[in-house]
Amino acid sequence: MKNKTINGKDISKKIRSELEEEVAALIEKGVKPGLAVILVGDDPASKTYVKSKQKSCREIGMESLLIELPSDTPEETLLAEITKLNENDAIHGILVQLPLPSHISEMKVIEKISPEKDVDGFHPINIGRMMTGQDTFLPCTPFGVMEMLKHTGIDPEGKHAVIIGRSNIVGKPMGQLLLRENATVTYCHSRTADMKSLTNQADILVAAVGKPKMITADYIKEGAVVIDVGINRDENGKLCGDVDFDDVKEKAAFITPVPGGVGPMTITMLLYNTVKSAKRTLN
């Protein structure tokens, strides 16, 4: 296999070193970019993600504030925390780690975050801005995928992009960003009839289903670009994606691994969005 793996770690490293310089320049001007992360409850996977986000912030010289709340936190308390952060000038980005406990409305929480600090790009105002092509914070995972394509020299224009998954966080915005770059976009999901007949037409296939190794070689067109957004555990507890990497790698022209593919890019784009938010305060 000759260099067909798209290495998210390497691309991330490059972008993060550029961000580190931007952070240093901002600090010179008296603005230290700050990200606040709110974690409700003690889901182990969420804890790991949040720690990784914090560490990444510090590594490039940004400020990182973690607010940990117990799983029985009333919705009102969480909303009040967000209001405080909206008003805190040292905080440029606010991220509430999802999923939230079932007694809290995720939409209410997302809508409480100031759109100007919504570095996840989940607020309906920012989603609207994205859909209409305005300058905004793009959702980090699909944004990261677009950067990976760009850095690999893959232009989506005129290509058939097939997305498996329709979540608000990944699938839906992924299609919009590919459409913006002039791809023809098809969405597949759990109710799609004859999914393979569609995925077999894909020049670019994005898998965001959350099912370990579901995408095998028979889903793939020869020479396709295969982007794996999944983070799952296989039957041995080992980290794996939605794509069966070993089965698909010979048939694909390019493929992203798990780990070391899309994952690092998601955090990198979160840092990018937070730096962007801090820069805006200078204007």
Residues 226 and 220: beta-carbon distance below 8 Å = yes
Q: How far is the CB of 55 from ligand GUN (least distance, A)?
A: 16
218 in active site: no
Q: How far is the CB of 204 from ligand GUN (least distance, A)?
A: 21
Say whether residue 228 binds ligand GUN (CB under 6 A). no
Nearer to ligand GUN, 122 or 219 (CB): 122
Q: How far is the CB of 127 from ligand GUN (least distance, A)?
A: 14
Say whether residue 66 binds ligand GUN (CB under 6 A). no
Distances (CA, A) of 69 to 48, 66, 75, 78, 96: 16, 10, 11, 8, 11
Q: Hey, how many other C-beta atoms are within 10 angstroms of the C-beta on 183?
A: 22
Q: How far is the CB of 225 from ligand GUN (least distance, A)?
A: 22
Task: Considering only residues 93 through 112, tell me which ones interact with ligand GUN, judged by CB under 6 A.
Answer: 95-98
Nearer to ligand GUN, 56 or 97 (CB): 97
Nearer to ligand GUN, 35 or 95 (CB): 95
Stretch that binds ligand GUN, among 61-69, 91-99, 152-160, 182-190 (CB under 6 A): 91-99
Residues in contact with ligand GUN, counted by CB under 6 A, come to a total of: 9
Say whether residue 120 binds ligand GUN (CB under 6 A). yes
Regarding beta strands 254-255 and 225-228, do their DSSP bridges make them parallel or antiparallel, or are they unpaired?
parallel
43 in active site: no
**What does the angle CA 260 – CA 138 – CA 173 come to, to the nearest 5 degrees?**
85
53 in active site: yes
241 annotated ligand-binding residue: no
> How many angstroms separate the CA atoms of 244 and 192, rounded?
20
Active-site residue (options: 112, 117, 118, 120): 120
> How many angstroms separate the CA atoms of 94 and 169, rounded?
16
Q: How far is the CB of 221 from ligand GUN (least distance, A)?
A: 29
Regarding beta strands 232-233 and 239-240, do their DSSP bridges make them parallel or antiparallel, or are they unpaired?
antiparallel
Residues 161 and 178: beta-carbon distance below 8 Å = yes
12 annotated ligand-binding residue: no
Nearer to ligand GUN, 12 or 266 (CB): 266
Per CB under 6 A, the list member of 40, 140, 145, 149 interacting with ligand GUN is: 140
Nearer to ligand GUN, 210 or 253 (CB): 210
Give the active site residues: 53, 97, 120
Which residues form the interface with ligand GUN (CB under 6 A)? Answer: 95-98, 120, 140-141, 169, 266
Annotated binding site for NADP(+): 165-167, 231
